[in-house]
Structure 1
């Protein structure tokens, strides 16, 4: 497989050059096109002035060639624009490989404050996991990706995502082409809902005896025009217009309502059709009923034809042909024919769109690995790192914990990496449950990865966190009470027989005094163990480390240490060490910030 950096670099160079060449060709041919068009008009004027029939014959005979030439010229510009988009997408991936991914959508609108882990693990928003992964172009695909990261799908769906994204991983050019086709879609989930809602709307075109008038009224209108031009009294010809006018007035509100419901979907469906046509060539294969690309193009065309109603002279077309009503009749027929197929087509499109994101993640990070699922009550990993940290500064750790009532208690000084470690474990479990690869590496921190690490876990292990609880002025809730509510939800989840929970708690009960915090923390830990809960708790309360020595204890102590160099600088290794933390840095940091702490107090603190 080609190196991602080399592939994107070459793709960017090739397509930037192609876009420049095609645009230059288009600009040169624009002048030729203008000259040819003027010459064609001049020839027609001469021919028509000398012999009308010859002029008409030349006009009819040459019109297809002129139209083909215009389409051919416009297609050159389209190819230039697509090449420019493709080059830009490749440039965006090169930036992402440098760990600059803020130009992608962060999905902040998906954030749920009460979700078990979304806020604490940075799943959405700026510098989030969603922003790191997201390459979707459709609103349904975007929602599908978000649902996966929120855990709103089953184990079977995650397994399919894993298999299908691995099939697509080796085809980054296919993925870029898919994104190019949908690049300027600007889709909204409301369009998707409106389209599905349209399927359930009743037929709107005439279905009773008035249906006959759809075919008779235009004939009567033409007959009336002929009467008014060649017969007397001409006023009698007005009678032939009455059926058409009556139908237009009768269905005026229905037509307006149907047009308002479908107006925004015309261009959307045209792009959907192109994306589905490309999706049918998806690596690994995809099964679609019917002919979705042709059917959606047809639907897009019919919807666009209703836009004629915006033209101020549309009344002439309506009276003479009952234009809108006939288009509504064809829309009703399309809906009846494809009502059962359309939801499946849209589901396949959203699935493919989300898979492009997962496949791109795999291609861009070949050093990552797939999780290993086991029925054993265990979570263990080698070389586990935080995916949102730049590889150059990413420190990995190994760990193993029994998920049948065991807790890792992490002590450490400020900025030692405790919170980051909790997020590292949590975010990788989220990736595993969603069907993605995990950031589990091997090799030393200084040497390149030589073989993948592992993450072994129970399938569908539910992650719960309590790390960033804040006060809520709208509910007159203090941060301490907000944390208590969060802990209550975690206890209820742990106690539930319907799910297996892995919790990540950072500095629990931090909103109260040290005595109450210690008492409450000990009680909480013992209760979680009794309920056979498992997880990791980070704390500054070193006295909690004594729980490990209690008879039958299911608590294991780990520490993240800090050292002070000879020059007085703080040195962090961000590594897990067995035991309780033996080093502290808060007083040293406060002294650096200008707080006057006597040297003997600092020395006493660090003894």
Structure 2
């Protein structure tokens, strides 16, 4: 890697520009969605005498609006990712001049009974852990503390090799850290793994075609009702039937 200060400054400038660019795109995206909404309202007003034309307008509006919302969400995601990357490089520049006391100090790992960690102030404000720690999730933080306290030299060389390899991949490290930060963790990793292993699907293998069939039938009934081939009451009945079926499986989904 090039000189750390030069590298982090270059990264900071790049991501600062990206954040500003994405903010402008988000502003334009919000304006575009508003204009599409106004056009749809005007179109419905001018063609309100024709049910079919109104339905076509609404279908087109929903389709376009959905695409715009998805694009807006993607831009939001990219902005958040670039803001994290900008923050990482700003932090690293601060650490290079000795300003790292705002980082997580790992006070909860302080153990007066440990053979050496308490004596050398391994954890706490101004500690080596605070200087070293770049973990993004709770499990990683615990693992790092465990590595520093394990008092085992068997794997030292392997860990040194891993550090040397990662030292040549600064951009990858930063992106990996950001992706971990952006994961919204509601449950511990162990609990999630247990849930996945014990998961039971709502439909067995022979019933997995049922949702597809229900969707096809729903689309057919909707189309027939729109073109007045069948009574609108059939569509309403089918709608509430679908709600009832969904209610049956709601408990399993929750």
In 1, Cα distance between equivalents of 2:35 and 2:55: 21
Whose RCO is larger (CA < 8 A, sep 6+)? 2
User: 1:114 offset after TM fit, Å?
Assistant: 0.9
1:484-515 CA distance string (max 9 Å, x none): xxxxxxxxxxxxxxxxxxxxxxxxxxxxxxxx
User: 1:52 offset after TM fit, Å?
Assistant: 1.6
In 1, Cα distance between equivalents of 2:49 and 2:30: 31
In 2, Cα distance between equivalents of 1:199 and 1:66: 34
Q: Residue 176 of structure 2 corresponds to which residue in structure 1?
A: 178
User: 1:89 offset after TM fit, Å?
Assistant: 1.1
User: 1:96 offset after TM fit, Å?
Assistant: 0.5
User: 1:186 offset after TM fit, Å?
Assistant: 6.9
* TM-score of the superposed pair, with normalisation by structure 2: 0.74
In 1, Cα distance between equivalents of 2:43 and 2:153: 69
In 2, Cα distance between equivalents of 1:118 and 1:187: 29
1:50 partner SS: coil
What is the 5 A alignment of 1:452-531? none
Q: Does 1:89 align with 2:14?
A: no
Change (3 A) 1:10 1:153: same
Alpha carbons 1:205, 1:325 under 8 Å: kept: no
Q: Residue 142 of structure 1 corresponds to which residue in structure 2?
A: 141
Q: Residue 223 of structure 2 corresponds to which residue in structure 1?
A: none
1:100 partner SS: coil
Alpha carbons 1:139, 1:192 under 8 Å: kept: no
Higher percent of residues as strand = 1
1:182 partner SS: helix
Alpha carbons 1:139, 1:187 under 8 Å: kept: no
Q: Residue 36 of structure 1 corresponds to which residue in structure 2?
A: 36
What is the 5 A alignment of 1:122-521? 122-151=121-150, 155-156=154-155, 158-185=156-183, 191-199=188-196, 201=198, 203=200, 317=243, 319-321=244-246, 322-325=248-251, 327=253
Change (3 A) 1:59 1:70: same
Alpha carbons 2:106, 2:123 under 8 Å: kept: yes
User: 1:187 offset after TM fit, Å?
Assistant: 5.1
Query: Which entry has the higher C-alpha Rg, 1 or 2?
Result: 1
Change (3 A) 1:44 1:166: farther
In 1, Cα distance between equivalents of 2:29 and 2:196: 45
1:546-587 CA distance string (max 9 Å, x none): xxxxxxxxxxxxxxxxxxxxxxxxxxxxxxxxxxxxxxxxxx
User: 1:161 offset after TM fit, Å?
Assistant: 2.5
1:73 partner SS: helix
In 2, Cα distance between equivalents of 1:202 and 1:183: 26
Q: Residue 578 of structure 1 corresponds to which residue in structure 2?
A: none
* TM-score of the superposed pair, with normalisation by structure 1: 0.33
What is the 5 A alignment of 1:58-77? 58-77=57-76
1:26-69 CA distance string (max 9 Å, x none): 2244223212222123213433x232223323433453332112
Alpha carbons 2:117, 2:123 under 8 Å: kept: yes
The Cα RMSD (Å) is: 3.4
Alpha carbons 1:9, 1:94 under 8 Å: kept: yes
Unaligned runs of 5+ in 1: 223-228, 231-236, 245-315, 329-607
Alpha carbons 1:137, 1:183 under 8 Å: kept: yes
Q: Residue 23 of structure 2 corresponds to which residue in structure 1?
A: 23
Q: Residue 106 of structure 1 corresponds to which residue in structure 2?
A: 105
Change (3 A) 1:43 1:323: farther
Higher percent of residues as helix = 2
In 2, Cα distance between equivalents of 1:102 and 1:120: 20
Alpha carbons 1:137, 1:185 under 8 Å: kept: no
User: 1:130 offset after TM fit, Å?
Assistant: 1.0
Alpha carbons 1:105, 1:131 under 8 Å: kept: yes
In 2, Cα distance between equivalents of 1:7 and 1:323: 53
In 2, Cα distance between equivalents of 1:34 and 1:43: 14
In 2, Cα distance between equivalents of 1:16 and 1:92: 14
In 2, Cα distance between equivalents of 1:148 and 1:91: 27
Alpha carbons 1:137, 1:187 under 8 Å: kept: no
